[in-house]
A and B are shown apart, each in its own frame.
Chain A
Amino acid sequence: MPLIATHSLTKRYPGGVTALEDLSVELEPGIIGLVGANGAGKSTLLRILLGLLPPTSGGASVLGYDVVSQGTTLRQFVGYMPESDCLPPDTTAADFVGQMARLSGLPATAARERAAEVLRHVGLYEERYRPMGGYSTGMRQRVKLAQALVHDPRLLLLDEPTNGLDPAGRDEMLALVERTGSEFGIAVVVASHLLGEIERVCDHLVAVDAGRLIRSAPLTTFTEHTGTLAVDVEEGAQALADALVAAGLQAVADGRTVLIELVDDRPWDLVRDAVADLQLPLVRIEQRRRGLEELFQ
């Protein structure tokens, strides 16, 4: 039984906007990245999987439950973190997450305990007793994740969890998502428009564009032959490029960066040796991933 299965899923909003078009996909448990540009239909898909929205045609099942007819049962086992803001400012995080736990069917005492535990897990400690109106964006995103996790779901649907976060906040949120998937053993679907971000934590990618499925495959098949190795040096970029070309690589200097064609593992060692020989101040070596745009070509 697949974790999520959709067949010919179509959603048209009144007014003629087609959000999803004939989308059929089967997904196995793991950390699944759902990528696509803004408006590609990611949020619509998540909402249909939750039974929040009825599909126009086609169908879907999650954890073996039909999303339309068995929504109530299904939702006991699913946690949802919406993209939009959803926290009342005059309530404390501890109270709010506790209430959400009870709404998921946990008895009062268990709800309180789980709320405290989950908030600690997402990194909220004393702050959880303050009204959420005074929280930073990072704290708010953590509370949103906590309320999705509080009832120990078997599947977590996260809609743009890194929205509005600074780079450090993004890293922490992604680390939390990864821990949730690998350590806690909860299946996760993360929707994001940033492939570079999502590929750091996912093991399976689903790409959608204009409501259609572009590709659904393990992450490794997406990032094979990513193409380019970028080497940043403080100075001597041209000299490095020349040395690498002499060693038989395709390399060009672009400002303080040297871009090297990556077809096998050879360039890594050659770059290391060339930098050492030339005694260049190395800043970083980075494998450039393909952008979303390339993915859709």
Chain B
Amino acid sequence: MTAPRATQATGNIYDLGYRGYDGPRLGRVTVGLGLLRQSLREAYGIGRGGRAKIAPFVLLAFAVFPAILAVGFRALAAQTGAGEQFEQEVPIRHDTYQSVTSLFVWLFVAAQAPELFGRDQRYGVLPLYFSRVLTRVDYALARTGGVFIAILIVTVVPQLLLTIGGILAASDPVAGLGKELPEIPRYLAVCVLESGVFSGVAAVVAAYTPRRAYAVAAIIALFIVPPIVVGIITTLSVPDVARVLLLASPSDVIDGVNGAIYGPLTLGGETFVLATLPGWVYIVTALGFVVASLAIVIRRYLTITV
């Protein structure tokens, strides 16, 4: 007695031989934008296994969480009729959000910029990039741009949530829209400058520091140590010097930008003056940081030997 046997497979695997490629070949600009997109994916650990996604997504969640909380409480307050009071008391607003989340923004660039810049140097991938269509400048711009957009997402998404929450929770949606719309260009300006300065500084350090641990430590130090130094100088009562020295500290410059755009912050009845110099000084300094960082990163990749 024999069991019915499966029909023998009749298919064969044929080696089709090598086939050439006659399709389109894209130019530098398209390839550069492709690397930018790829850098953004890598900054969020996409395409690099589960572990690489933990840090960026946890930090993104931390940065967004206060906004979700604020939107939730606002909706609750609006329902209980305490909307007016909430608006006055809530500490999480468009003008305060930069200071609420700056720690997560620092940690994000410190953790992810070395991923984008360091890995290519550590694992010797640069010769493969530079032996292709892109120039070294294209590479530097695409990688820095990847960090910039990644961090822009972290800063803009919670602000957008606040905007949407504000419109939906308002008793009169049209009035809510009217109140929220003027906020959008303001916080976009803060977010763009903040992301530009922090990603630029992080890119410079990461481009020169292939070792990940050193790069992470150095980037965090650059954001945290200067404000402390300035604080010490201020308490030694030379405030005028301190005000100018602040401009060398990336995180203080961004606080100043926020102050320049929003004016003094009121929190729990206290008022904080973030911009002690004329507002435009901070904005110009922030732009200076961006331009200088880009120039240094480009120089690094023009001179690096591969």
Contact A87 B306 (CB under 8 A): no
Interface of B is mostly: loop
Name the distance in Å between A155's Cβ and chain B's nearest Cβ.
12
A184 touches B123 (CB 8 A): no
Interface residues of A in 79-120 (CB under 8 A from B): 80, 82, 84-91, 95, 99-100, 102-108, 110, 114, 117
Contact A89–B26 (Cβ < 8 Å): no
- Cβ of B269 within 8 Å of any chain A Cβ, yes or no, is no
Task: List CB contacts (< 8 Å) of B12-28 with chain A.
Answer: 17-21, 23-28
Interfacial residues of chain B within 98-143, with CB under 8 A of chain A in the complex: 119-120, 123-125, 127-135
Question: Judging by beta carbons under 8 Å apart, are A80 and B21 in contact?
Answer: no
| Bound Cα distance A183, B17 (Å) | 9
**B128 adjacent to A90 (CB under 8 Å):** no
Question: Do A75 and B131 form a contact, CB below 8 Å, given A107-B26, A151-B21?
Answer: yes
Verify A72–B306 contact, CB threshold 8 A.
no
Most chain B beta carbons < 10 A, residue from A105, A106, A152 = A105
Partner of B47, one of A76, A91, A117, A183: A91
Residue contact A103 to B21, C-beta cutoff 8 Å: no
> In the complex where A52-B306, A131-B49, A184-B18 touch, is A84 in contact with B25 (Cβ < 8 A)?
no
Question: What are the residues of chain B within 8 A of A121 when measuring CB–CB?
Answer: 18
B139: nearest chain-A partner, CB-CB: A103
A102, B31: Cβ atoms under 8 Å?
Answer: yes
Are A103 and B23 in touch, CB under 8 angstroms?
A: no
**Is A162 part of the binding interface, using a Cβ–Cβ cutoff of 8 Å?**
no
Q: Is B52 an interface residue (CB 8 A)?
A: yes
Q: Is A147 an interface residue (CB 8 A)?
A: yes
User: Which of B18, B23, B129 meets A106, CB within 8 Å?
Assistant: B23
Query: What is the bound-complex CA distance between A87 and B125, given in angstroms?
Result: 6
Task: State the A residues within 8 Å of B (CB).
Answer: 47, 50, 52, 72, 75-76, 78, 80, 82, 84-91, 95, 99-100, 102-108, 110, 114, 117, 121, 131, 147, 151-152, 179-180, 183-184
